[in-house]
Chains A and B, each alone.
Chain A
Amino acid sequence: MKGIVFTEFNEMVETRFSPEMLDEIITECDLTSGGAYTAVGTYDHGELIQMAQALSDKTNTPVEQLVFAFGEHLAVRFSVLFTSFFDATNNTFDFMKTLDNHIHVEVKKLYPDADLPSFSFDDSDASCLIMEYRSSRGLSDLAHGLMTGVIRHYQENITINVEHVVGKEHVRFHLLAQ
């Protein structure tokens, strides 16, 4: 997993909770990387799960909720770091449709070793965009949070219904325009 995800996660923990909280979970998790993340590095995604679990334990907050919140945080960060992707469209649906065949293609060009989830979509219903998430990492909550962050970025009134096809590995998101 790309280092930016880890640095952003750490950033979020420090901001939302405290630098001490981050230090504690890193120390407790006894991570292979030692928690010394850099945005340009690549790390085992298991470390993120480990840290999320430790945070959950410490804060008595469900992991799903934390990962979802991290997704929302990432969306905001991405909109700052990678403005051009967000500026290319002016609404959530169009942005979502470019995800798999444009944004991820560009990401792949920059990071050929990036292991990205796949997103297919069904836009046959104009008011409901179905995004289908598939990833062996089972980070559908992260995807959910990201989508929510994107909706917030475009300031739209869209609700997301989550349909678990196969656990968290294969999930169908129904984005309903209100």
Chain B
Amino acid sequence: MTEDDAKKIAFLERRVEREKSARRASEFILEEKSHELYHANQKLLKAIRDLEILTLAVEQSPIIVLISDVAGVLEYVNQAFIDISGLKKADVIGQSIPSLGLNIKGEVKEGVRLVINEKLTWKSQITGIAPDGFEYQLSISISPVLDNDNKVAHLLYNCQDITKQKQNEQKIYELAHHDSLTGLANRYSIDAILEQAISTAQRNKTQVSVLFVDMDRFKRINDDHGHKFGDALLQQVAHRLQGICRRKSDYLARIGGDEFLVVLTDTKDSTFSSLTAESIIEVLSLPYLIEGQELKSTPSIGISLYPNDGTTTSELISNADAAMYHVKQNGRRRYSYFTKELNQIVDEKNKIEQELRIALAQDNLQLFYQPQVYLSQERVFGVEALLRWNHPTMGFISPDKFIPIAEERGLIYEVGSWVIKTAFAQQKKWKSLVDVPVKLAINLSAKQIENKQFISDIKGALLIYDIDPSMIELEITESIAMENPDHSIKTLNKLRELGFELAIDDFGTGYSSLSYLKMLPIQTLKLDKSFIDNLENDQDSLKICKASISLTHDLGLRFVAEGVETKWQASFLQENSCDVLQGYYFSRPVPAEQAFEYMQNFDWDSI
């Protein structure tokens, strides 16, 4: 081998070696690149899968999603939008958003401008109209979609269907501000209206009239014909009131069962309110035709005026109420303005109510007892418990005065319960002192009879004081019994089942139906005092008295004469088979100790 050959071989070997190295290097690099590519591919596949999930999620999301370019041309909408808009996907892409029935005007346009310029998210509510005319409401949030250079590339609209929510809100608003039966404003909103009217009147130096309208004897109508009937009547009353008060500045509300409020604003003097009140009386007194039946009811109206009779809503309403109450007590079917005298009456009532609450809390009321002489051979006594209130500074306050106030202000049930407990406690005390128990008569009020709690309350009291109910005679007046005879019969039956004796008080003064009387589970009739008063001078009273005794006995009942003041009356009644005598001739109502003493020392031979 020549030197040249050796060089050539060495050269070729080097070259082959370089080629080999290069090949190995490239293989290694390609292997690495292939791995990189594989991993990149895997990443890409995962990204595609994620994207698919994301696309499906957005597509099926209950939230409405729209994507547009910055000019508002739609690039994507999901199924939720198709569902609510009633449009087809193919018809939507490439269209401008306002052309889809979405109301993108004024405020919304300004919002879109903010999103693009300030890169903010903007929220509001918009309406949309489907091709079939269906109007829907959307809550909308518009936000920018930024590209890699942080520029706004798209707009993303997330919307939620709030059509139902809006409808519910409207319904709730209506319910909160309107009376559902009549559609008139309710107490809550008339307060707001009146408050606004007062401040306007204050500025404009005008007057506001508040008319408190109450339908006379509505309760009776409701009881006799049922609630449905009563409701229909109230609806007609509301309708008639709307017909009368037609000015834009007149407002109507139903604020209680049968209580309506008319607020007349922008009036200069009381002429307009008087005329309105007259019209209301005339129109509401016309017969009502309900379910084919003709029915009559009349309104009583009390009026208070701003600023004379009050400067606040509660003052004006309560004074109009007081004026209405005054009308009720003085003949109904009239209207009356609130007056200074009424003001005094209201003040006095407020005072009595306040003091009565204190008296109840501090146990400052008192029971007096008037003995009842039983003319049977057993020589037993009864007593009638009578409520008395001797106020530390106001002196003796007659029940005739404070009982109606207690009724008006919702205190009568509490007063009645106090009477029952106190009388029961007293009877228990007497029982421990003598062998022969004292029969106790207690007066009940209408509110007690009506109260659903009454039966269980009195049953509880029986247990607490360990009372024999047959020694308790519960008295209700004839008018209370007749006010709602069906209900009275039910309650009286329950009391009778408990073992109480029952009496009808003031018999002869009301309009007792004898057939009803027969149905009442009573044991005693108490003839009204007025008949006894006139026994000596009035032949009619004498005849009525005799007939009543006879009727009572025929019905198998006991006859009690109250208000016996003379020996003659006592003798007459005794001769005519009266069973029980009660009155000043024997004893006035006296404190428990005196009553007891009287009974202990009574000379039975004197009668």
Contacts and interface: CB of A to CB of B under 8 A. Distances in A.
Name the prevailing secondary structure of the B interface residues.
helix
Interface stretch (B18-26, B74-82, B194-202, B449-457): B18-26
Contact of B15 (A23, A38, A39, A41): A23
A38 B21 CA distance: 9
Interface in A61-80: none
Given A41-B25, A41-B26, A41-B29, A36 B11 contact: no
A145 interface: no
Contacts of B25: 36, 38, 41
B30 interface: yes
Nearest to A24: B11
Interface size class of A (residues with CB under 8 A): 10 to 19
Contacts of A89: none
A38 B22 contact: yes
B11 A40 contact: no
B14 interface: yes
B374 to A, nearest CB: 121
A34 interface: yes
A40 B15 contact: no
Interface residues of B, number: 15
A39 B23 CA distance: 10
B113 interface: no
Contacts of A19: 11, 15
A50 to B, nearest CB: 16
B14 A36 contact: no
B21 A40 contact: no
10 contacts: A19-B15, A23-B11, A26-B14, A27-B14, A36-B20, A38-B23, A38-B29, A39-B26, A40-B26, A41-B25
Contact of A23 (B14, B26, B30): B14
Nearest to B25: A38
A36 B29 contact: no
A37 B18 CA distance: 8
By Cβ-Cβ distance, the 4 closest A-B pairs, closest first, are A36-B21, A38-B26, A36-B22, A36-B18
Interface in B26-73: 26, 29-30, 33
A40 B18 contact: no
A35 interface: yes
B8 to A, nearest CB: 9
Nearest to A27: B14
Contacts of A35: 18
Nearest to A43: B25
Tell me which of A23, A26, A36 has the highest count of chain B C-beta atoms within 10 A of its own C-beta: A36
A110 B207 CA distance: 89
A26 B18 contact: yes
A80 to B, nearest CB: 20
Contacts of B29: 38, 40-41
B18 A34 contact: yes
Nearest to A34: B21
A125 interface: no
B92 to A, nearest CB: 36
Given A38-B22, A40-B26, 8 more contacts: A20-B11, A23-B11, A26-B14, A34-B21, A36-B18, A36-B19, A38-B25, A39-B26
Contacts of A20: 11
